Amino acid sequence: MKKVALIGFNSTFKTLYLPAIQNVSEPVKWYVYDENPQALAEMMTNLNRAIPCHTIEDLLKFELDGAIVFKIPSGWRELKRAFVNQGTSIYSHPPIEQDLIRLNEELQTINKHNGFMMPGYVNRFSDIVNFMRKIPGKNHLTLTQLFIDSRRYVDQVVWSDLAQLLHTTIYLMGEYPIHGSFRMRKTDRYLDGIIVALKNDKMSAVISINEQAGTQYHSMQMESTSGTFTLDNWQQLFIRQGGDLVVETKDPWETMTHRYGIEQALKAYIERLGKPVSPINPAEMMLIYQICGRITSAISTEGFLNFDYSL
């Protein structure tokens, strides 16, 4: 039976992760920690095979396979260092470290112990996404995500939806970008919209998120020398080759990049515990951290993206 810590009570845990944790099919014993006794008691509600840990010392008594972090507790740096040095695999939501040098050192250390770090935005790619990745002669990708009237802080959108779209984009491009740029619109700390452009030697990509579009919509379009392939709202695939147009109706649950979202991310995480294979390439994680960190720390609403692959 795998041993996994659940750290920090917040709304993300309660509304999004708790139902998924309850549906985990593999036998897992949960070790639950929050420094607030009331929050700890609420976390324990409706959890099977759960052991409360009132202090960090209590938590470290157990030989844990993994730790899922929802809210960073005081003393987190020491706790994380202990996890890293033990090879305890860490699942972070939101990202737990935006210092790239430290993140790189920790990734290397944890890898030596056959552990890994997995950010919460990791996708399980569907058959249709794998199909789009293999299209010959790819030259441009467009990913568009629209919301009716969403009101979220810049860092909330960037470290969740944008990070997930970046993960999908890099997978579809097949090679890491060489350079890029971003432009965003915001009202105070709230994001109205953002566009990120990426480019490598073979193709370009544009990611667009509009929080105030007045409609809910998603589109993925791959342009290539063999035709244009558009996945519209996860439901219809339009294939235009020359003057011919083919339309295929799809099941959204089978076409979405993350399929069942959190359930699949948790499943991927738990499946890989104790295995020397990370669900996401550390170099790709560093790249996404660089992009998200650059945007959230930018003084201006636009700028260039330069990537340091030496880290």
Would the pLDDT of 310 be above 90? no
* Percent of the chain clearing pLDDT 70 (strictly above): 96
184 and 300 inside one domain: yes
Residues 86 and 107 in one domain: yes
Contact at 8 Å (CB) between 224 and 172?
A: no
> Could you tell me if residue 16 is inside a domain?
yes
Average pLDDT score over the chain: 89
Q: Tokens at residue 5, please?
A: 């810590």
Alpha carbon distance 111, 84 (integer Å): 9
Domain identity same for 143 and 168: yes
CA angle 154–283–109, rounded 5-degree value = 105
Over residues 106-116, mean pLDDT: 88
Please say whether the beta carbons of 84 and 106 come within 8 A.
yes
The CATH number that applies at residue 300 is 3.30.360.10
User: Does 161 share its domain with 227?
Assistant: yes
Domain's final residue, options 71, 90, 119: 119
Together in a domain, 134 and 90: no
Domain closes at, from 66, 88, 119: 119
Residues 173 and 301 in one domain: yes
Question: Mean of the pLDDT values across residues 138-167?
Answer: 93
**236 found inside a domain:** yes
3-state SS, residue 6: strand
Lowest mean pLDDT among 74-83, 129-138, 141-150: 74-83
Q: How many domains does the chain have?
A: 2
The range of the structural domain enclosing residue 173 comes to 127-260+289-306
How far is CA 76 from its chain centroid? 21
Residue 207 and residue 105 in one domain: no
Whether 267 shows a pLDDT value over 90: the answer reads no
Please report, in angstroms and rounded to a whole number, the separation of the first and last CA atoms in the chain: 36
Could you tell me the two tokens for 48? 């099977």
Both structure tokens of 118: 């997995």
**Do both 38 and 160 map to the same domain?**
no
Q: What is the pTM of this model?
A: 0.86
Of 78, 100, 119, at which residue does a domain stop? 119
pLDDT digits (tens, 9 = 90+) for 187-211: 999 999 999 999 999 999 999 999 9
Average of per-residue pLDDT across 95-100: 69
Contact 8/70 with Cβ under 8 angstroms?
yes
Rounded to the nearest 10°, the torsion over CA 17, 128, 284, 166 is -70
